[in-house]
Structure formats: structure tokens, C-alpha cells
Amino acid sequence: MAMIETSTQAYQRDRRVVIAGIVLISLLSWVYLFVIAAPGPVDHTSAHAGMHPAMAAWDGGLLALSIVMWSVMMIAMMLPTATPMVLSFTRLQHQREARSKAIRLTGWFSAGYLGTWIVFSLMAAFAQWALYSSNLMTSVMGSATPLLAGTLLVTAGLFQWSDMKEACLSKCRSPLNFLLNEWRPGSSGALIMGLRHGIFCVGCCWVLMLLMFVGGVMNLAWMAAITIYVLLEKILP
């Protein structure tokens, strides 16, 4: 006779599924970034819009590729940092008697969260196009002038000590408090909660993302460093 699954067992099973999903999506995103950042066989740069040396002739296709690049980059960097919040959401779904829907609702929550970063990616891609068209960026998408790099670094430093930064970061550091205060039932509720969490996350991290224009948009080490920094900001007191 099969054993009846307890609530704890059900949660642990779903927790493993959620973690596996986060790891898989994040890993695939990083693999994509590694592939497009790899030097090309002819011009020693990627043929992707993020690194192509002839970006002055941007058209709709290259802009679309840049949006895809930024979107995947944000998923690779920001999905892992949301792991504590996503797992807390799954746990609360189990505690609120939504066990059979926990995975699906967690998917909606995650989609809302990533949706805000995709919107940010649209703006970042247009900013990249504008900076390159103004000759303020190099062919490998780093700052072409010390003034731009310095301005971005100073802006990021000042923002780190701002009230807005602290207000948004406080929403990300305490997953349980955020979820209890923002709780909404059903799929639409999960999506809205994810969107709101994403808005707060973008609010506290958007300046850090602009530092990609300093180190180089496709600088993988720079991406990893910012990802680790954001994660530590969220989990450390």
C-alpha cells in the first residue's frame, strides 16, 4: 500500500523541483552568454549585437538581438538572487493549503519577477544603442570615455547610500514579510506579487546593472561579480 504523502514531504518535493528549475534556467542562460561572448573565428569578436564592431549601422534586427541578449543576461544574473524569495513563496503556498497548485503558482510568481527585468532589458538595449550611436561606447560595449565611466561609477556609489536604495532593498531582504504584506490569491495574484517584487528589485539594483557599460556589456567576470554582490546584499543583514 502506497504511503500517503505528508505536507512536509510534498513541500520538500516541490522545493526540489523549484530549485532544479532555477538552476536549469540560470545555467542555460549563462551558457548562452558564454556562447555569444566567445571570440569569432574571423574578427575575434562575437557576431552578436552585444559585441559586434560594426554596430553603428544598427537596424531593427540588431536591436532585437540586443534586447534578447539583455533579457537573457538579466535572467542569468537576477534569477539566482531571487531564490530565497521564490522558495519562501512556495512554502507559503503549502502552508495556505494550495499544495496542488504550488508549482504552477510559483511559476507565475517567477514570471512576474522576470517580466520586470525584461522591461528593464528593453530600456537597457535602447540605452546601449544610444550610447554607441553617440560614440560613447567601444566595439566591445564598454565605456569609450573616462567621463562616462566615472559618471556611472559615482552615480552607483551615491545611489548605494540613498533612501530609495534602502527602501527597495528592505523589501528584498525579508521574503516572509514581503509575501505576507503583499499576499494575493490565485494565478493573477501570484503574477502581481512577482511583478511587485521585481519592481522593488529593479529599484535597488538598476544602477548596478548600468555598471555593465563600464566593464563591458559582455564581460562575463563583471556579470558574475555583480550577481554575487546583489545576492550578498539580499541575504546579508
CA–CA separation, 50 and 27 (whole Å): 20
97: left (phi over 0), alpha (psi -120 to 50) or beta: left
CA dihedral (169, 175, 177, 182) positive or negative: positive
pLDDT above 70 covers a percentage of the chain that reads 84
Q: Which residues contact 167 (CB under 8 A, 6 or more apart)?
A: 203
pLDDT in tens, 24-80: 999 999 999 999 887 655 443 444 444 444 444 556 777 888 899 999 999 999 999
Residue 130 corresponds to which cell in the numbers above? Answer: 544610444
Position 190 scores a pLDDT of: 96
Going by pLDDT thresholds of 50, 70 and 90, the confidence category of residue 97 is low
CA count, 13 A, side-chain hemisphere, 164: 11
- Which pLDDT value is given to residue 213? 82
Residues whose CB falls within 8 Å of the CB of residue 160, separated by 6 or more in sequence, listed in order: 207
In this predicted structure, what is the pLDDT of residue 72?
A: 97
Cell of 106: 510559483
Is the model's pLDDT at 206 over the cut of 80? yes
5: pLDDT confidence band, cut at 50, 70 and 90?
low
Radius of gyration of the chain (CA): 20
Side-chain half-sphere CA neighbours of 3 within 13 A: 5
pLDDT, position 57: 54
pLDDT at 34: 93
For residue 138, what pLDDT is reported? 63
Q: What is the mean pLDDT of the chain?
A: 85
Residue-range domain boundaries for the chain: 7-235
pLDDT digits (tens, 9 = 90+) for 208-218: 988 888 877 78
Distances (CA, A) of 105 to 130, 134, 152, 169, 193: 38, 44, 38, 24, 11
Lowest mean pLDDT, pick from 5-9, 91-95, 219-223, 229-233: 5-9
Query: 47 vs 163, which has greater pLDDT?
Result: 163
